[in-house]
Structure 1
Amino acid sequence: MNRVSHLNRLRTEPFDVCIIGAGASGAGCAADAASRGLRVALLEADDFGAGTSGTSTKLVHGGVRYLEQAVKTADPKQLALVRKALHERRTLLHIAPHLCHPLALVTPCATLLEGWYYAIGLKIYDWLAGSRRMAPSRWLNKREALRHFPAFNANKLNSAVLYYDGQFDDVRLNLSLVQTAVKHGAAAVNHIRAASWETNTNGKLTAIRAVDKLTGESLTIRADLFINATGTHADQLRQEANSGQGRRMRASKGAHAVLPANALPMTTGTTEQAALLVPKTHDGRVLFAIPWRGQWLIGTTDTEAEPTDTPTLLPEEATYLLEHVNELVTKPVPVEAVTGGFAGLRPLLQADPNASSKALVRDHEVEVDERSGLVSIMGGKWTTYRLMAQETIDVCCQRLGKSPACVTETLLLQGADGFNKQYVQHLADSYPEYPTDVLAHLANTYGTDALAVLRLLREEHEWIARLAPNHPFIEAEVIYAARQEMAQTLPDVLMRRIRLGLIDWQATLTAIPRTAQLLAVERGWTPEQRTQQETEFRAHIELLMGSLLMNNA
């Protein structure tokens, strides 16, 4: 994806739809619309997946907590959401197998009665999934539970229940959706801010003025319809298009702490490593400890937030998360063990402004403002992004007088074509000269596009070097991110194309100089621009680290 050429298209081409916001909802809408043959523009004020969509718990799931709420409160909306999400869960594993895979989870039970309670609930979860079920849930005795999650404190464990959900890489899936949209003709640009609307005499939106945040250039993008997919910021765009619109969005903050692999004992032999689901926290949350990309991901919190907040992991949140995990494991994990972390905002659609954020259904709505013509997709969650996009583009097609069918339920995303369970071994057999952990990482990040990353090594073999010790990320990925994935800044590369900035802050500091050197050549930075990039990003990472260090000084 070449940003310069895509910018030129925005300046010169008319579009059927212009989508503002390129997180899960916006990128999903772009892939859907473009694959139907519509002329699509996609604008992102920061980077693809830089906000809410890149800070999830990395689970593709129906939501066991929502199921429990649905049963306890006899809420058909919660039950419908679980059913829809379970349907979409299987679809994602099919269209993006390189980024999504089944994950075993165990729920510890202190008593036999508790074990049967959760076992029955998860059988309902299986039943709702129907033919799209991954594998049947089952009750585990203490010995079996310890095999799947050796960190358990046996003295506090009666039994456990094992079930399956999906796991994915949210940032990479977000980028894959953008790439898929571009492959089908969309023009997509990051770091471009929607500034103001243009309307006709009837007040209908005809164009949007935008500003390139990297150069300061102003440009005008014209389209027949505009889609507001800005997540927690949706109200701002809605009210700018029509000042009479009321507030619809709420936000809750979800924070995650990252631990190294050795922080919790892992399985040995052939027993699959399961994730941990903590079914009860002091404030009514479900909490997870998940093996992800060679680390442990602990999350998540659920606290009230303002839609305009820029959230980070706070010391008290890291302490909260680890306290709940430590109640269940033999060897407690100190906060000092945290190597990384992140936080994001959930876009919650409110009907009752006085309701708790935890009580709001994670469903979505497609709203059409008849005065301005703005189409807003609001609420929802990652697992149902495809369904959200389908409903949004159906509405757009109806308003445009077009009737192309949606094809995204079977449309393979970028990197998925030709990928299967044997692909990692295929790369290892084809490139025996390269480290196996690097090849596995490339396969599970880029899918069959891993070959394009490896081909860069023909240009410069030294790009096989690791960006930081003990991590599989290599220099060639920086070059690939710049040339093929529209990475413009150090955060674009190290926080999103390569997730090092999420999982290991100290290693990120190590990687900054070489990453900046490589990216400076690709982007044509002056020495002053390179220094500024390094200084600003280093300060950001040190701020994240310092917050936790000060708390434990």
Structure 2
Amino acid sequence: MFSRTISRRIAATTLVAAGGYAGWNLRPAQDHIYHNEARNDVQTAELNPARPPSPPTRSELLNRLSKTAQFDVLVIGGGATGSGCAVDGATRGLNVALVEMNDFASGTSSKSTKMAHGGVRYLEKAFWELSKAQLDLVIEALNERGHMLYTAPHLCKILPIMIPVYNYWQVPYFYVGCKMYDLFAGSQNLKSSFLVSKGQATEIAPMLDGSKIKAGLVYHDGSFNDSRMNSTLAVTAIEKGATVLNYMEVLQLIKNGSTGKVEGAVVQDRETGEQYKINAKVVVNATGPFSDRILQMDKDPKGFPRNDLIQFANEGHTSIGSRVAVSNPHMVVPSVGVHIVLPAFYCPKTMGLLDAKTSDGRVMFFLPWQGKVLAGTTDIPMKQVPENPTATEADIQDILKELQHYIKFPVKRSDVLSAWAGIRPLVRDPRKVKEGEGGSTQGLVRSHFIFTSDNGLVTIAGGKWTTYREMAEETINEVVKQGHFNVKPCITKKLRLAGAENWDPNLQALLAQRYHLSSKMAEHLANSYGTRASMICDMLEDGDLNKLPVTFGGREDVTVIGNVDFDSFRYPFTIAELKYSINHEYTRTALDFLMRRTRFAFLDAKQALAAVPGTVSVMGDELNWDASRREREIKDTQEFIKTFGV
């Protein structure tokens, strides 16, 4: 039996090698298909800033919510998939409402590995396990990677990643694997993978121990800003006509008294306590790791949640006092992935590193991101779904220990600038799991999973960031089927998101020239806001908005843009950017700005702590907070940021 298994794997690998080599050499040369479409002639490039109409205020969206007798679809959950559903539904002509209990990307969608990728490790599994299903997942994600790069070129960039090779026999193995990865990307391949010598590998990554390296394989994937992508989706949905609101908690599902069909939800504005009854023809549960919470409401005859949903966790991988969002999940099989952020000298500035196999068999990434290095991830199974999972010291030390195997200089705990944990759910068909089988893996689905309950509730769960668009498309297809709607075709493959309109790869230079910005500030604004960066730049010309308070720059003076080189500051965040996020991106709390509209706390939690009082001061003036609200906001924000490995 053992010999047959080995023979089959050797035969499969040989076939893959031959087919990959032939396929690669016979296929026509590929270029950056999406990037070519976006390029303009450098000689004629001009700054043509997008000036969208002023977005509806929160009050106007709430008014729309209360005055609409019935929406076509109500989406519960404002993460990547939920926001993607709102964009897809609105652009097909549906009247869409979306409610999110916290902020957009406040959970899993802001705590990813920041990669738009097909998954080289999944490709390896596909061939070793002779799994067509795994291979289909890789091909699906590679296609969607291309769509992300096209629809949001300011937020998604091509990133070369090097796999250091430490044994000569691994060279052909990794080479064939990378070439197959290119091959399955088809017309949307980003760049050809290539082999580098030992000398080239150590030149690319001098921080690695060159005495152990035999060669390196370089392949290409996408890197992106996850929470900004999420808020951009929400803004795009609103601009396409959807009613999208954060900080709206679902208290009860509305059910038809005679049929039990789900026909909407009762939601509460967490800012004011006011309740709204939202009627909808179809309701979508897109709450990710918290899917079971809504499914439990669906099971209740009156649509209420279970009484034991909120309790205090006592698990090793949640902080003391961390609340459990879902106990004994039926559909979701949760696990925790931990990431840390390190200074830039831990990784090449323009190329990531992939440890193909750690000491315990996992894959570890070390990626340049936002001027720092993102390292991770762990994969720790959990029994409950915590509301706010946090990275433990053991998790942080685990990543640092693995990193020290390859880095020449000492890897220090004091270099950790931030650390966080996110729930990465695998899902299973809840109809195939009996009550009490919480830990069972029966019916486990590696991809995303969509199903409609007997009461008409459409649930979408699983998957990953890279495939959010396809997940949303398939979900709205199911919505159309359930609601018997007559809609336009899906257009999201080619829909430029907010900030990508008229995008030009020379935007950074154009902003620097037009507004006399430093390269660091121009890069930050171009890569965060795309063509809408000029709206912030216009605000920066106001003497009161172009300042760097002590809380943002880590200095006690206040300096205007005209008199300072922003490269001397670690983080180029200004009051103008904060006000823009309040007025154009629905920032409602200090955490929204410090963690998600900007990535300050993810990049440097200690510096972000110092930014809290100044942020609250500006927001308090803008949103008319009283003294008690300001005090509470400072306290809550600082307590939360302290859980980020500080």
Give, in angstroms, the shift of residue 249 of structure 1.
Answer: 1.3
- Aligned partners of 1:18 and 1:225 also within 8 Å: yes
Contact kept in structure 2, 1:225 and 1:373, CA below 8 Å: yes
Give 1:243 deviation, angstroms: 4.7
What displacement does 1:260 show? 1.8
Distance 2:628 2:482 in 1: 49
| Corresponding residue for residue 550 of structure 1 | none
Q: 1:304 aligns with which of 358, 378, 381?
A: 381
Partner of 1:275: 352
Q: Which residue of 1 aligns with 2:299?
A: 242
Are the equivalent residues in 2 in contact too, given 1:483–1:522 (CA < 8 A)?
no
Aligned counterpart, 1:365: 449
Residue 339 of structure 1: aligned partner: 417
What does the per-residue CA deviation read over 1:392-415, in whole Å, with 9 as the maximum and x for residues that have no partner? Answer: 101111222224210000000110
Contact persistence 2:427–2:448 (CA under 8 A): yes
Please report how far the alpha carbon of residue 455 of structure 1 lies from its aligned counterpart in structure 2 after TM superposition.
1.8
Structure 2: gaps spanning 5 or more residues: 1-54, 304-328, 555-569
Following TM superposition, by how much is the alpha carbon of 1:472 offset from its aligned partner in structure 2, in angstroms?
1.6
Separation of aligned partners in 2, 1:243 and 1:526: 40
2:587 is matched with: 487
Per-residue deviation at 1:239? 2.3
2:488 matched to 1:388? no
1:18 aligns with one of 64, 74, 83: 74
Aligned to 1:513, which of 600, 603, 613?
613
1:163 pairs, out of 219, 227, 232, with 219
Residue 113 (1) aligns with residue 197 (2):
no
CA apart distance, 1:457: 2.4
More displaced stretch, 459-468 vs 66-75:
459-468
Give yes or no for contact 1:232–1:307 (8 Å, CA) kept in 2.
no
Aligned position for 2:21: none
Aligned residue identity for 1:534: I
2:630 aligned partner: 530
2:90 touches 2:240 (CA, 8 Å); kept in 1?
yes
> Identity of paired residues, percent?
36
Query: Per-residue CA shift, 1:122-153, capped at 9, x if unaligned?
Result: 11111111111111111111111123222111
Which residue number in structure 1 is paired with residue 280 of structure 2? Answer: 223
Q: Map of 1:46-65 to 2, 5 A cutoff?
A: 46-65=102-121
Distance apart, 1:242 and its partner CA: 2.3
Q: Where in structure 1 are there 5+ consecutive unaligned residues?
A: 268-272, 547-553
Q: What is the distance in 2 between the residues matched to 1:356 and 1:224? A: 34
Q: Which moved more, 1:106-115 or 1:303-312?
A: 303-312
Q: Counterpart of 1:118 in structure 2: which amino acid?
A: F
Q: 1:260 is matched with which residue?
A: 343
- Structure 1 segments, 4+ long, off by >6 Å, are 352-357
Q: Are the equivalent residues in 2 in contact too, given 1:115–1:159 (CA < 8 A)?
A: yes
Query: Could you tell me which of 383, 406, 418 is aligned with 1:328?
Result: 406
Higher alpha-carbon deviation: 125-134 or 451-460 = 451-460
Q: How far 1:312 sits from its partner (Å)?
A: 1.2
Partner in structure 2 of residue 187 of structure 1: 243
- Counterpart among 61, 64, 71 of residue 9 in structure 1: 64
Which residue is equivalent to 2:232? Answer: 176
| Aligned partner (choices 271, 284, 298) of residue 361 of structure 2 | 284
Asked if structure 2 preserves the Cα contact closer than 8 Å seen for 1:278 and 1:325, the reply is no
SS of the counterpart of 2:169? helix
1:530 Cα offset (Å): 0.8
SS in 1 for 2:577: helix
Using a 3 Å threshold, how does the CA distance of structure 1 residues 543 and 233 change in structure 2: closer, same or farther?
Answer: closer
Range with bigger deviation, 389-398 or 280-289: 280-289
1:306 and 1:3, CA in 2 relative to 1: closer, same or farther beyond 3 A?
farther
Q: Does 1:426 align with 2:510?
A: yes
TM-score by length of 2: 0.80
Which of 462, 474, 481 is residue 398 of structure 1 equivalent to? 481
The residue that corresponds to 2:553 in the other structure is: 468
Give the superposition deviation at 1:355: 8.2
CA contact (8 A) 2:499 2:529 kept: yes
Alignment partners' CA distance in 2, 1:96 and 1:265? 25
Distance in 2 (alpha carbons) for counterparts of 1:54 and 1:152: 29
Q: Which amino acid aligns with 1:9?
A: R
Q: Does 1:407 align with 2:491?
A: yes
Please say which of residues 528-537 and 45-54 is displaced more in the overlay: 528-537
Range moving further from structure 2, 316-325 or 164-173: 316-325
With 381-390 and 309-318 compared, the bigger mean Cα shift is at: 309-318
Please give the secondary structure, in 2, of the residue aligned with 1:394: helix
Question: What is the SS of the residue equivalent to 1:112?
Answer: coil
Output the CA distance in 2 between the equivalents of 1:485 and 1:158: 48
* 2:337 and 2:378 in contact (8 A); partners too: yes
* 8 A Cα contact 2:344 2:371, kept in partner: yes
For residue 380 of structure 1, give the secondary structure of its aligned residue in structure 2.
Answer: coil
The match for 2:148 is 92
Q: How does 1:67-78 map to 2 (within 5 A)?
A: 67-78=123-134
Cα drift, residue 360 of structure 1: 5.9
Superposition RMSD on alpha carbons, in Å? 1.9
Q: What CA distance in whole angstroms lies between the structure 2 residues aligned with 1:481 and 1:494?
A: 11
**Amino acid paired to 1:189:** L
Output the amino acid matched with 1:10.
Answer: L
Distance 2:573 2:380 in 1: 33
Q: Contact 2:417–2:605 (CA<8 Å) still a contact in 1?
A: yes
Q: Tell me if the contact between 1:44 and 1:189 (Cα under 8 Å) persists in the aligned partners.
A: yes
| Higher mean displacement: 162-171 or 529-538 | 529-538
Q: Deviations over 1:211-254 (max 9, x none)?
A: 11111111111111000000011122112112599922111111
Measure, in 2, the Cα distance between the counterparts of 1:461 and 1:110. 55
Q: 2:266 aligns with which of 189, 195, 209?
A: 209
The structure having more radius of gyration, on CA atoms, is 2
Residues 149 and 275, structure 1, Cα contact 8 Å, conserved in 2: no
Letter paired with 1:7: L
Secondary structure of 1:19's aligned partner:
strand
CA offsets per residue over residues 109-132 of structure 1, 9 Å max, x none? 111111221111111111111111
Q: Distance in 1 between matches of 2:170 and 2:413?
A: 30
In 2: Cα distance, 1:71 partner to 1:46 partner = 41
Q: Which amino acid aligns with 1:299?
A: G
1:551 counterpart residue number: none
104-113 or 246-255, larger mean C-alpha shift: 246-255
Kept in 1, the 8 Å contact 2:383–2:439? The answer is no
Contact 2:113 2:339 in 1 (8 A): yes
Contact 2:426/2:446 (8 A) holds in 1: yes
Distance in 1 separating the partners of 2:95 and 2:543: 38
Contact 1:110–1:158 (CA under 8 A) maintained in structure 2: yes
Change (3 A) 1:162 1:266: closer
Q: 1:105, 1:543 → 2: CA distance? A: 30
Inter-CA distance 395–266: structure 2 relative to 1 (3 Å threshold): closer
Give 1:362 shift: 3.6
Q: Is the 1:468–1:508 contact (alpha carbons within 8 Å) kept by the matching residues of 2?
A: no
Question: Cα offset for 1:46?
Answer: 0.5
Match of 1:416 in 2: 500
Distance in 2 of aligned mates of 1:94 and 1:456 = 28
**Equivalents in 2 of 1:356, 1:83: separation in Å?**
28
CA distance in 1, matches of 2:255, 2:169: 63
Contact 2:416/2:645, CA 8 A, preserved across alignment: no
SS of aligned partner of 1:223: strand
| Distance in 1 between residues matched to 2:223 and 2:409, nearest whole Å | 26
For 2:523, the equivalent position in structure 1 comes to: 440
Q: 1:307 to 1:384 in 2, by over 3 A?
A: farther
Secondary structure in structure 1 of the residue aligned to 2:407:
coil
